[in-house]
Structures are given as structure tokens and as C-alpha cells.
Amino acid sequence: MSGLVKGILFDKDGTLFDFNATWAVWAFDFLTDIAAGDASKAAFLGGTLGFDYARKTFHPESPVIAGTAEEIAHYIRPFLPEVADAELLERMNLSAASAPQIEAVPLAPLLSEMRAAGLWLGVATNDAEMPAKSHLGRAGVLDLFDFVAGFDSGFGGKPAPGQLLAFADGAGIDPADVVMVGDSLHDLKAGRAAGMRCVGVLTGLASGPDLSSEADIVLPDIGFLPDWLRQEGLWPS
């Protein structure tokens, strides 16, 4: 690793936004809609996704946590023969774009502080690019990011490092000077594969021990990042 950090790349769901507070609402509403209001069918579909429809909670190993829309659709597609593949993905993405996003911490002041320090900022998500930009725009922080990539942006999805390397390349900085921040092992494994520092956060469903094997440090949330970077002598100002 070289000296000061020059860029920070964030996962979106469970990192910038609290995972369960955001996606449990989406999952309940989407499953109710796709099951045409049949609660029993919606609960069954939820079970295939590791989602407890009655309690509105995710299992820690749910494929929704780190999966792409295509991967999530794969689990429920066999039970929805009346819905065409393209329609299923379109309805999923449109529903996701309107999901209520609960910020893990107040994002605008934190990201503005990082921008003022001269850091490049990016988002690498396994969500699709369109709903990702919609979520960031509704939070009023889209313009604070230099880079936003979804699984469908042409760089692949995590845990492969394509999105991460594209961010570093676009910024013209060494991947070793970038911190990858995420709430899942997919995020951290992608960071390791890209040669970046890796920070885990606990605003998703994974525990500290789950993340510690791949993380340089595990923080309660992204609000602790500036202090940690300063303590490590990595903050650029």
C-alpha cells in the first residue's frame, strides 16, 4: 500500500443506506405485487429469497443482500410462469427505484467533508445502475459522486473487481490508494481482488466476525471513516 488515500468507493445497500430498514419494505411490497395480492404465495416467494414475509426480516444469508437483480430473479422465476423474464426484471428494477432509502448516517455532510478533502468518491453496487442513481438522487447526494456503477454498467458485479478497477482507472489513481467500504463479504472480496484497502461496516446484516476475515477494520457505520483514516495517517488533509 502507498501513502494517503485518494479515493473511497462505497457499496450502496447496507453501507450508504441501512439494509433492513430499506429493503424489508421493498421486499414486502414487491412480493405482494408480483403475487397479485396472494399473501400465501408472497410468503412462499419470500422464503425462496431468505425473507420472512410475516416478520418483514431477512435471513443473514439471503441472496438479496449481495445479489444482482438477475440473481434474485433466478430464485423466484420458476414459481412465476405467468411473468416473462424481461417483465420480471423490469418490475423488480422499477420497484427497487422507488424503495424508501434510510440513510445509515446523514450522507450529505459526510460526503461533502470527503469531497472537501480532495477525495474521489464512487459507488459500486450489485443493484442496477438506474435504481442506484435514483436512490442517490433522492437522498440529494448523487452529484457528490464521481462514479456510480451497477451490475449492468458494463463492469460486472461483485465479488469480481471490475467495478472497482473501473473507478480507479477513471479517477487515474492506483487501486492501492482506494478504500473499498461495504457490509458484505462480496464487497470486501472485490476490494481484496482489486488491491484496495477494505473496511467493513455493520449497517447490513453481516456481523463483525463475518467481515473481519476480509476487512482491515470493521466499523459501526461509515460515519467513523474520517476518524479512522486520520488515526491511520491516511486522511489527505
CATH classification of the domain holding 190: 3.40.50.1000
- Percent of the chain scored above 90 by pLDDT? 82
194 and 85 part of one domain? no
Which pLDDT tens digit goes with each residue over 167-218?
Answer: 999 999 999 999 999 999 999 999 999 999 999 999 998 999 999 999 999 9
The total number of structural domains in the chain stands at 2
- What pLDDT score does 1 carry? 46
**86 and 69 co-located in one domain:** yes
Closest CA to 191 of 217, 225, 209, 171: 217
Q: Cell for 134?
A: 435514483
Q: Provide the domain limits for residue 59.
A: 20-97
Q: pLDDT tens, 74-106? A: 999 999 999 999 999 899 888 888 888 899 999
User: Reduced to 3 states, what is the DSSP secondary structure of residue 52?
Assistant: strand
Dihedral (Cα; 36, 39, 44, 48), 10-degree rounding: 70
Helix locations, the chain, DSSP H = 19-34, 39-48, 69-76, 85-97, 107-116, 129-138, 162-171, 185-194, 208-212, 225-231
pLDDT at residue 2 tops 60: no
- Joined together, the cell numbers standing for residue 130 give 438506474
113 and 59 fall within a common domain = no
Residue 237 maps to a domain:
no
Whole-number pLDDT of residue 99: 80
Q: Are residues 155 and 216 in the same domain?
A: yes
pLDDT digits (tens, 9 = 90+) for 23-53: 898 899 999 999 999 999 999 999 999 999 9
Helix (H) or strand (E) holding 219: strand 217-219
Residue whose grid cell is 436512490: 135
Residues 12-25 pLDDT 10s: 999 999 988 888 98
Q: Compute the distance between CA of residue 233 and CA of residue 57 in angstroms, rounded to an integer.
A: 39
The mean pLDDT of the chain is: 94
**Residues 107, 220: one domain?**
yes
- In a shared domain, residues 67 and 107: no
Q: Which residue among 62, 97, 132 closes a domain? A: 97
**Domain check: are 93 and 128 in the same one?**
no
Of 54, 77, 97, the position where a domain reaches its end is 97
Q: State how far the Cα of 100 lies from the Cα of 156, in Å rounded to an integer.
A: 26
Q: What is the mean pLDDT of residues 205-232?
A: 96
In a domain, 236, yes or no: no
pTM of the model: 0.84
The Cα 68–Cα 78 span in angstroms is 17
